[in-house]
Chain A
Amino acid sequence: MTGPAILLLLAGLGAIAWVSARARAMRLQTAARASGRRDAVHSLPGYHGWYVALWTLVPAGIFLAVWANVAPGLVMQDVLSSPAAQSLPADDFSRSAVLGEARAIATGNQAGAFNPLSQGLVEPYKDAIGKYGIAGAALALVLAFAGGAYAFTRVRPDFRARTRVERLVMATLLIASLLAIITTLGIVASLLWESFRFFSMVSPVDFLFGVKWSPQSAALGYGNDDAFGAVPLFWGTIFIGAIIAMVVAIPLGLMSAIYLTQYASPTVRKWMKPTLEMLAGVPTVVYGYFAALTIAPALRDFAVKIGIHGASSESALAAGLVMGVMIIPFVSSMADDSIAAVPQSMRDGSLAMGATTSETIRRVLIPAALPGVVGGVLLAVSRAIGETMIVVMAAGLAANLTLNPFASVTTVTTQIVQLLTGDQEFDSAKTLAAFALGLVLFIVTLLLNIVALRVVKKYREAYE
């Protein structure tokens, strides 16, 4: 029996269970209600239906899921004990290649064999798959019937079916929310594990404090010593994401938020706010393309014109500038929220003293909203340093420690992409370095985020 067929059958059983249990509950309840006691009836008939249907479906479903993982092993055992399997090659690699091919042919996923050995195994495979398929289906059906029957006997007017069904709903919700933890753990585990392997080749001190970054030469076999000093990357990341981008984004974002919330007419606000939000909706690959093709050459020409000869066509400034623009809506929406969270009474208080609007904003609203704004800026920084495509396309790969915005610097994310695209050898220090960089990036953004949320939360509480 095939997978879809058995699933369809189960679904049908579930539907039957639902309908019959509901009908039975309805009959019983009508009788019970006649007794007049209010608590003679507990749940709506529909809940009885769900209760029985779930008992029919869930155990059988769980069994099938387990079976799907166990059965291939059993099939394999069966096949291996067949006479044709005796001639299989001894080494694991070719052996599993043959078995895999035979299975693919048996299940119709592959047309013909290119290894003659596998042709002989196709029949045993087909037999075994058929045998265990039927066994699994039968067991599932038995379980479905047993579960359904058990539940059906419990349908009584005062049976608390709703409570049971709701308990399952709650359990499902809880499990869903645990997924967030699992993802986080997955990230941490994968980063930690690969980074651990990296740090067994390269000392963490060299990595964190070294000033020379040249993983390519390490890959060429010149040794790992002092090839993985990540300080220039950190600097480049900070220079582009936390300095240049913020110099653009903070004033523009903050002032936009102030203008739109405090001065603009409702019509202007209604149109300009979504317009600015559009800046956040433009994908970063577009910003990257724009930075690399339009902004960077223009900046370079400009730099050369004003006499900076070393200007690179992949300057930190181009990437930072464009990234700053991308960040504007983040800053402005955080600033907007923070300013809006300052109680109206503060504003009234100041205006009633005879302060002008700008005095009120500068001397009361902004100081009062400052924690929120700072939190927002921290979030924006964390966003900027994790941004990848803009720097991959517009920033350079040269690991320079420089203060010159027209020079080329490289960033952590650029290097991660660089190290991992293409070459996928999982035990060279070069590949693993990407994970170490990822770990640093993760930790830093995590800390920034935690601090920012703390600050913002504290601030919110202050006005609650």
Chain B
Amino acid sequence: QESAENGKDKQTESKNEKVTVVLDWTPNTNHTGLYVAEEKGYFKEEGLDVEIILPGEAGAEQLVASGKADFGVSHQETVTEARVQGLPVVSIAAIIQHNTSGFASPVEKNIKSPKDFVGKTYGGWGGPAEKPVISTLMNAEKTNVDDVSFVNMGETDFFTAVKRDIDFAWIFYAWTGIEAELRGEKLNMIYLTDYSKNLDYYTPILVANEGKIKDNADQVKKFMNAVSKGYNFAIENPAEAADILIKENPDLDAELVKKSQEWLSPRYKDDASRWGEQKQEVWENYTKWMFENKVLEKELDAKSAFTNEFLPK
């Protein structure tokens, strides 16, 4: 039976366009739509043969920029940074409408607002925007970022880190926050969006190569059709979508996926007219903020960094 299936796969392979998507990290509920589109055959319907790969240490942005991958999962702050450095990557959809990330810490640490960061240790991953973001949050409460100790925590996961020398870290609530709920560990969350409207940027997003958008718009269109369908399915059927993600990634903790999906599904589209919609205002605000906070070396034309053109009507 299996060999028959393989045979069928080979046949379709020859017809379909081969497309690779690089994730931003290990598979999680941010990626559900992609897996749904794959599992439900939405990609096949569009004549695409999609392979989803993990990025490892090489960033998805560079891989998309160098053409080694067709599409990638990224974040607005990264794309902005990448474009300033000359990487030809363009955002083609916002996976989640609003920024659901924030600074988390176990309640024992008593970090309830940014002013409590003073004297504490932040565990980061070496992103250029980390310090300015924390600075912005702290400035709002008249405290100084220099009083925070920064540690690059590399591969270490949040729960381990906060048991060691780290006091707070930057997490996606949908994943790590839900995991904490499941573990019964109480967290204090400080959401970025609560402190600055500028920081309500798109994270995560889907990106494609600038050249590809020009030369192979057709493929991008097909890809986005399928992905939209995938995420819309996940929005309407959180439970079933979660099952698909679990099935595709059996190593994931099923309970976490289910709860996370339940939390995240309504937030994919949120208040937007359609899934994936990006507003110029969001891009401009954040880009301006980045430039003002010296994260960017030069100003960036926010308009060229994203497009809604490939989203299905």
Partners in one complex: no
- A residues near B (Cβ < 8 Å) are none
